[in-house]
Amino acid sequence: MGRIYNFSAGPAVLPEEVLKEAAEEMLDYKGSGMSVMEMSHRSKVYEEIIQEAEKDLRELVNIPDNYKVLFLQGGASLQFAMVPVNLMKNRVADYIITGQWAKKAYEEAKLYGTANAIASSADKTFSYIPDCSDLPISENADYVYICENNTIYGTKFKKLPNTKGKTLVADVSSCFLSEPIDVTKYGLLFAGAQKNVGPAGVVIAIIREDLIPEETLPGTPTMMKYKIHAENKSLYNTPPCYGIYICGKVFKWIKNVGGLEAMKAHNEKKAKILYDFLDNSKLFRGTVVKEDRSLMNVPFVTGSEELDAKFVKEAKAAGFENLKGHRTVGGMRASIYNAMPIEGVERLVEFMEKFERENLK
Ligand SMILES: *Cc1c(COP(=O)(O)O)cnc(C)c1O
């Protein structure tokens, strides 16, 4: 069995080199006589793995010293709660609603205080990013929250919102490490690993030190305090050891291929192939306004549910997996994360051209 082209939105494709290396080290990690899965998280050898992962990530993203890097668990979804319990001092926060993930974060924040939806693109099925240059930011807002790349709808903030001096918090799950990012623009950003970085079960949070509170909201579980994880260097309890090890390998892979600038060029090239095709196709069309298109998630439709279903089925038979759109929006979606090779997108477009010839009446 060979590997297929996997266009899944997450858990998603990982670099083959990383998987091969992990396979080679599966039974005996560097002479330790055991798998990374089997070793104590307090052992010297594991300490090196997690420390090196953090060091490589810091270099790759150029993370300033006054930001903590935390390897957490609970998925990006737990951050929807961790953010308010840690940061909602005034119990007020502003949310920009650009899709389901932002909406879920907003609903979660409402459990802890007043969450204001200050902008939304729900009126056009989240097919664009609202103008965020002059929003009605709440005077006592503890932070302004965005989902930077909307995995389901395929939109991305190309320009960060004007938060009028308030702390910016961003869910960057599906665009993290796809291009350079200026961490200093954010108070806190977080990413679930399974989109572009590693296996599900790891969440990376990068938080400015002065935002890590001494006191969280009453009743906050210990495991949900950033302070605890920061003080214990992500080893307060047993971390997702194996997942962090794989993330570390992905960081090295990105460094080896030239870092985030190179990753961006690679991703732009891939996305252009697909978007150019969609813009010229007589059968397929992209669903997002051009200026807000994501480099990572590319949703498209034929205009006929029947043809969409036929396409997904025939694509699967031809070795293109997971092209079905999110269950709530239908159509198709090609997720073309860092590890998707350019050939994958070229082959997909060839397949789409063929499908168009055969099905265009
Ligand atoms: C997938 C995803 C999530 C949810 O991640 P979980 O790890 O399943 O909690 C949240 N936000 C974005 C942008 C995502 O793509």
Over residues 212-257, the pLDDT tens digits come to 999 999 999 999 999 999 999 999 999 999 999 999 999 999 999 9
Using one digit for the tens of pLDDT, what is the confidence trace for 79-108? 999 999 999 999 999 999 999 999 999 999
Residue of the CA atom closest to atom 11 of ligand 1: 101
Q: What is the DSSP code string of 227-266?
A: HHHHHTTT-SS---HHHHHHHHHHHHHHHHTTHHHHHHHH
For the chain, what percent of residues have pLDDT higher than 70? 100
**β-bridge partners, 69:** 206
Question: pLDDT for 267-324, tens place per residue?
Answer: 999 999 999 999 999 999 999 999 999 999 999 999 999 999 999 999 999 999 999 9
Atom of ligand 1 nearest to the CA of 99: 13
Q: In this prediction, what percent of the chain has a pLDDT beyond 90?
A: 97
- Is residue 101 annotated as part of the catalytic site, yes or no? yes
Atom number in ligand 1 closest to CA 75: 7
Q: Which atom of ligand 1 is nearest to the CA of 148?
A: 13
- Judged against a pLDDT cut of 70, whether residue 1 lies above it is answered with no
Which residue in 68, 101, 166, 270 is the catalytic one?
A: 101
Please tell me the residue having the least CA distance from ligand 1 atom 10: 76
Cα–Cα distance measured from residue 207 to residue 12, given in angstroms and rounded to the nearest whole number: 25
Which ligand 1 atom sits closest to the C-alpha of 150? 13
The model's pLDDT over 191-214, given as tens digits with 9 standing for 90+, comes to 999 999 999 999 999 999 999 999
What residues line ligand 1, using a CB cutoff of 6 Å? 10, 75-77, 101, 147, 151, 171, 173-174, 192, 195
Identify the active-site residue in 195, 225, 252, 270: 195
171 is known as an active-site residue:
yes
Residue with the nearest Cα to atom 12 of ligand 1?
A: 173
The domain defined by 17-256 folds into Aspartate Aminotransferase; domain 2 (3.40.640)
Which residues lie across from 168 on neighbouring strands? 144
User: Which residue spans of the chain are classified as CATH 3.90.1150.10?
Assistant: 259-359
pLDDT (tens digit per residue) in 43-52: 999 999 999 9
Q: CA-CA distances (angstroms) from residue 309 to 299, 324, 344?
A: 14, 8, 21
Nearest-CA residue for ligand 1 atom 13 is 173
Do residues 359 and 315 make contact, with C-beta atoms less than 8 angstroms apart? no
Q: Is residue 329 predicted with pLDDT exceeding 90?
A: no
Closest to 284 (Cα-Cα) out of 264, 309, 303, 265: 303
- In terms of pTM, does the model score above 0.95? yes
73 within 8 A of 81, measured Cβ to Cβ: no
CA 203 to ligand 1: nearest atom: 7
Minimal-distance CA residue to ligand 1 atom 3: 76
| C-alpha pair distances (Å), 100 with each of 75, 122, 209, 320 | 15, 10, 29, 26
80 alpha carbon to ligand 1 midpoint, in Å?
A: 10
Torsion on CA atoms 254, 257, 261, 265, rounded to nearest 10? -110
Reported as a single tens digit per residue, the pLDDT across 104-144 is 999 999 999 999 999 999 999 999 999 999 999 999 999 99
- CA 198 to centroid of ligand 1, rounded, Å: 13
Which of 142, 171, 292, 308 is catalytic? The answer is 171
**CA 50 to centroid of ligand 1, rounded, Å:** 23
* Structural fold of domain 259-359: Aspartate Aminotransferase, domain 1 (3.90.1150)
268: which DSSP letter?
H
Determine the distance separating the centroid of ligand 1 and the alpha carbon of 337, expressed in angstroms. 14
Strand partners, 171: 147, 190
Closest CA to 177 of 194, 163, 162, 161: 194
Ligand 1 centroid from CA 102, angstroms: 10
